[in-house]
Chains A and B, each alone.
Chain A
């Protein structure tokens, strides 16, 4: 390897590190905080790895009464919102793609880009009027604003690149519209469904704004719970960092495991029609 290209590679690595550094280093520091005792936190020079690991931070979080409840809430809200998002979004994406309904797609994009806060208050009033505020339903419904557009947009891209001859062959073979969708279009577009599922989960899980307004003490989700840790107790960094890491972990693992599918799905992996 020549001197010049070695230098090029080095510069590339340094540049990449610089771009990634803020997010990565922040994360590293948070991990470090979570395993340090209170006394190590303010130490100068800052300690990355302490002598004694404060696993009690994690233990404390996991044993806390309501943590399991909040975890369950998060799972239910994200799970339901993603599932409903898929049930509504995949057929919608198929219809929009096949009918070339670009105006409908633009409407959905506008809905996606509208700040969530703008419909938060009106919806809050509606939920209050319907007496739903004590349940998880308000959050599930409002999370649909996040998940449905994601699903529709990814599925439109996917279905548009699927060769229409596959569906024509199925129609000649005797399938009606529904069978064409269920037996041919959907299985072939499965990677797209997986990607939209993953992205929906990621965006819904991390959502904070909706939960803060709509959740009560029993129905709040994990991001909101962490926020509340901040205000109620004195700022104890250790348990706080531990809690934050625990909340981020599922989505982090999901992203790392599925990163190839995410990239493939977002670049509209075209399926060659056999």
Chain B
């Protein structure tokens, strides 16, 4: 069983604590993504699972076995790095076979496993080339092939697509996802790109400043973010936020913008709140609040409009194409059920 358990793990570099008590349980065969802004500690956490960094506190278990003091080569893991880390003086086939060559495995077995990995990734014609003769996407596939040949219990990916151009990133995303469905190996994937996380993961772990903000399925994080940080991190363009208070059945912002709240909303009247509404949940409506158009950005399938509503800068994403120009007034409304309320002091979600 290749489950990975990260139990109350802490990491400090001298006096600076970078990971502050993280708990994650990854089931066998699950694809889990670690996301967060730069510097939140996700790469450090991954490297601790790999054994490339020491653990200051807590436990890491792979397959039920505590691996805190086990060197990387004995943990039965494989890692794919951001800059591929292919051995430049070896051919592709030797790169992929390196781990087996070190173990002095028989030649037929090496050839068989390399051929199988090459076939899965479409590298069969490139086995005799050197890394410098390959494109970025090919190199990344060789790095994955090197990981597959090891046939490990856990795959670790450290922002593998960050060095690729946008189009290649999209196709490689699908390939990695497809690979996971074929091999069903437990995977821990680190990225700063929340779109990658949303599309690829079965569960997402949002990390911020060494702490977990929320763990859950992608759509859960989208529909019910546990706090303001997650709400603004997941979803592109980012969620609109307004500070204000509740006044009966309406939300009243600091600048006196009013939005109707859903029935059964349990938010307290009085204390400062933060209202969140995603750009895609704002609609054109004759009964809504008025807003002055600042910027219109059509993308073909959608139109992104930046507006000024009573001093609040909001973004809305509309499915239809409307003929507005900067300076004109439009009326917007949000479905009450699509609103999110957070306590202003703690940032936590109010049900």
Contacts and interface: CB of A to CB of B under 8 A. Distances in A.
A163 B83 CA distance: 9
Interface size class of A (residues with CB under 8 A): 20 to 34
Interface stretch (B73-81, B193-201, B251-259): B73-81
Interface in A165-213: 165-166, 168-176, 179, 184, 187-188, 190
A274 interface: yes
B139 A274 contact: yes
Given A274-B131, A274-B132, A274-B139, A171 B52 contact: yes
A272 interface: yes
Interface string A253-273: 000000000000000000111
A163 B86 CA distance: 11
A174 B103 contact: yes
B102 interface: yes
B83 A187 contact: no
B88 A172 contact: no
Contact of A273 (B88, B102, B146): B88
A183 to B, nearest CB: 8
Interface string B48-85: 00111000000000000000000111000111010111
Query: Taking each of B79, B131, B146, which has the highest tally of chain A beta carbons within 10 Å of its own beta carbon?
Result: B79
B88 A175 contact: no
B192 interface: no
Contact of B78 (A172, A190, A272, A274): A172
Classify the interface of chain A: helix, strand, loop or mixed.
helix
A172 B85 CA distance: 12
A168 to B, nearest CB: 5
Given A274-B132, A274-B139, A173 B98 contact: yes
A184 B86 CA distance: 10
B85 A169 contact: yes
A19 B79 CA distance: 54
Contact of A173 (B52, B88, B131, B150): B150
Nearest to B134: A274
A173 B74 CA distance: 9
Given A172-B72, A179-B102, A274-B132, A188 B150 contact: no
A172 B158 CA distance: 14
B337 to A, nearest CB: 47
Interface string A14-43: 000000000000000000000000000000
Given A173-B150, A174-B99, A188 B87 contact: yes
Contacts of A165: 81, 83, 85
Contacts, number: 69
A258 to B, nearest CB: 20
Contact of B88 (A168, A170, A272): A272
B194 to A, nearest CB: 25
Contacts of A168: 52, 72, 79, 81, 85
A274 B208 CA distance: 32
A273 B88 CA distance: 6
A165 B47 CA distance: 11
Interface residues of B, number: 27
Given A170-B98, A172-B78, A175-B102, A273 B85 contact: yes
A169 B86 CA distance: 8
B73 A171 contact: yes
Nearest to B131: A274
B182 interface: no
Contacts of B86: 169, 273-274
B107 interface: no
Given A173-B98, A174-B99, A174-B103, A271 B88 contact: yes
A223 B50 CA distance: 56
Given A172-B72, A274-B131, A166 B85 contact: yes
Contacts of B52: 168, 171-172
Contacts of B88: 188, 271-274
Contacts of B84: 273-274
Contacts of A188: 87-89
Contacts of A176: 73
A182 to B, nearest CB: 11
Interface string B136-171: 000100000010001000000000000000000000
Contacts of A175: 73, 102
Contacts of B77: 172
9 contacts: A163-B83, A171-B73, A172-B50, A172-B73, A175-B102, A272-B88, A273-B83, A273-B84, A274-B95
Given A165-B83, A184-B87, 18 more contacts: A163-B83, A165-B85, A166-B85, A168-B85, A169-B79, A171-B71, A172-B77, A173-B150, A174-B102, A174-B103, A187-B89, A188-B88, A190-B89, A272-B132, A273-B88, A274-B87, A274-B131, A274-B132
Interface of A: 163, 165-166, 168-176, 179, 184, 187-188, 190, 271-274
User: What are the nearest 7 A-B pairs in CB distance?
Assistant: A274-B86, A274-B131, A165-B85, A173-B99, A174-B73, A169-B85, A274-B88
